[in-house]
Structure 1
């Protein structure tokens, strides 16, 4: 039941994220004007704002002028719904549903930041910086509910350590990554370390692995070269979310490999 409710809530949040992705980087209001067609300017009717279904009912076109509506809108909605459901399922497995609001916030912010970074090569402070106090409060509430304070302390340590690591990278290798990546790293360090040290390690270094793999694919397909700049934020976020699900089996596999090598 929790998983279904999380999916429905995620669909609604995904609809809002489409507004965030378009308006926040342009410093536009999130509430005014209401959603409208960028071509004809007519407002979107309430029934057409239903996540995913609205786009399907319109067959991907504006009801007034017939302008195509990008398929990215329903994909963001559906993707956020699936992500919220998956997080609810995983946290239920870990007996940690009290942390679901925190991870849902991180996932929603992550979806918005990843797509903004892909579009505009930026990670807006308006999303990153407020997420620090919000996640701190939500994780504190989770720790209070669980009566377990070490995960909260571990989250604080993880946030500081990963932020310091990225700060060192940007100082030692100027231009290797942006300051937005540094500010994002603290959020990732906190939410992953709250789960475990292995989640922090897998998520932190998974971003570099994903970036390297995609970089090789880009060069192999002739879409770019060694100097092609790829936004790193989406890799950081994707690896962090994957770590929530795969950190434990990856850690077990690594420990097993080390044990086999030592015998």
Structure 2
């Protein structure tokens, strides 16, 4: 499990450097890449996102995004990022309240930091990142059903799909204006 987390974290941190170059903005994304790699592996294996990682990620992500804002990068992006994190947190909380079995509280807490890193880029990035997470989750579920590795009653962790959707958008945002 540790090796998988290190590999995924390293790939995402490298993708952050590729996307943002050597800039203040790359630092929060490198850190979020490391966190994402660890959370993807933990959730895929244990079907839970630990509070010890998701809760501190919220203020740490906000603080790390303040660095580029103070350095003059991302005109108005910090306020948008914090608003986006709040919006995504509330949207996922509403989904959890509607269907607690369908979306866990770990996913809700993860939505806050994920919303911030997507919101720093733009509002459309937030929307696409959130939607892509659900699309990826549906495709993963269909693949597991087709391979008979899951049934319609199986619990499939959502965190890896959430983060995959976010990272597709983060990386693609360099080529596609969002």
Q: Same fold (TM over 0.5)?
A: yes
Q: Indicate conservation of the 8 Å contact 2:48/2:106, yes or no.
A: yes
- Are 1:146 and 2:75 matched, yes or no? no
- TM-superposed CA distance for 1:235, in Å, is 0.6
What SS does the aligned partner of 1:129 have? Answer: helix
Higher RCO by CA contacts (8 Å cutoff, separation 6 or greater)? 2
- TM-superposed CA distance for 1:129, in Å, is 1.1
In the alignment, the residues of structure 2 paired with residue 177 and residue 221 of structure 1 have an alpha-carbon distance, to the nearest angstrom, of 23
- TM-superposed CA distance for 1:82, in Å, is 2.9
Note closer, same or farther for the CA distance 1:78–1:109 as it changes in structure 2 (3 Å cut).
closer
Runs of 4+ in 1 over 6 A off after TM superposition: none
Q: Indicate conservation of the 8 Å contact 2:25/2:73, yes or no.
A: no
- Are 1:180 and 2:106 matched, yes or no? yes
In the alignment, the residues of structure 1 paired with residue 162 and residue 51 of structure 2 have an alpha-carbon distance, to the nearest angstrom, of 16
Q: Taking structure 2 as the reference length, what is the TM-score of the superposition?
A: 0.91
Query: Which residue pairs with 1:198 in the alignment?
Result: 124
1:232-262 CA-to-partner distances (Å, cap 9, x unmatched) read: 011111111111012465667xxxxxxxxxx
Aligned length: 178
What SS does the aligned partner of 1:177 have? Answer: coil
- TM-superposed CA distance for 1:149, in Å, is 4.6
Query: Which residue pairs with 2:38 in the alignment?
Result: 112
Query: Which residue pairs with 1:89 in the alignment?
Result: 18
Q: Taking structure 1 as the reference length, what is the TM-score of the superposition?
A: 0.63
In the alignment, the residues of structure 2 paired with residue 86 and residue 124 of structure 1 have an alpha-carbon distance, to the nearest angstrom, of 24
Q: Indicate conservation of the 8 Å contact 1:198/1:248, yes or no.
A: no
**Structure 1, gaps ≥5 residues long:** 1-16, 19-72, 253-263
**Structure 2, gaps ≥5 residues long:** none
- Are 1:229 and 2:155 matched, yes or no? yes
Note closer, same or farther for the CA distance 1:181–1:238 as it changes in structure 2 (3 Å cut).
same
